[in-house]
Chains A and B, each alone.
Chain A
Amino acid sequence: SQQGEEDPQALSIQEGENATMNCSYKTSINNLQWYRQNSGRGLVHLILIRSNEREKHSGRLRVTLDTSKKSSSLLITASRAADTASYFCATDPQAGTALIFGKGTTLSVSS
C-alpha cells in the first residue's frame, strides 16, 4: 500500500531555477525521508527529518515537515542538469518497520 504521495508527478524546469516537490502521507510517522533515483539505478538517501523537526537543510536541499497536515516538501535550490532524477518520499508508519515509498516526482532540469 502507498503511504506517501508525491506531487507533482512530473516537473520540468530550467537550470538555476528552484524545484519544489511535495509529499503527503496518511498515518503518523517517526520520520520522513527523501531519496533520489537516477534512471534505472538504485535510490540514494538525501535527507531525513524526524517527526519533531519542522525544517532541515543539507546543501541545496531544504525539507519541511508539517505533521498536522501530514505533508512534507523538498526544495532544491539553483537546480542543475545533474539534478534530473526521480525523487521519492518515504515514511516509517511504525518504528522499526520498513520504509514505505511514494510513487515519486520526476524532475527534469534542462540547460
Chain B
Amino acid sequence: GNSVTQMEGPVTLSEEAFLTINCTYTATGYPSLFWYVQYPGEGLQLLLKATKADDKGSNKGFEATYRKETTSFHLEKGSVQVSDSAVYFCALSAASGGSYIPTFGRGTSLIVHP
C-alpha cells in the first residue's frame, strides 16, 4: 500500500536557521506529493505541491523537490521565522484499490525560538 514516512519531531530551531524536514514515500503508480501545514489552532492548509519527478514546489520561502529516484520530498527553508512554528505534514495521492486518497505522514512539529 501507500505510505509516507517523515522525521519525528519536535524540531527546535533558532530564528534564521536552516530547516530540513525529511519525507520519504512508498506508492504504487506515480503519486502527486504535497506538504501541508497546520498552524496552532487552525486547520490544515496546503503549503506546496509537486506532481511529477524533478518538479520543485515552493511557497512562503519553503521548497521541496520531487525525487523519484530516492522516493523523497524533503521540505527546506533557508531562514525560518518564529511565525513558521507549526506542524508540517507530508502527503501523497496515488492509486489505491481504484481510489486516489491522500495519505499523510505523522506530522513534524517545528518550534522556532526568537
Partners in one complex: no
Q: Which B residues are within 8 Å of any A CB, using their own CB?
A: none
Q: Which A residues are within 8 Å of any B CB, using their own CB?
A: none
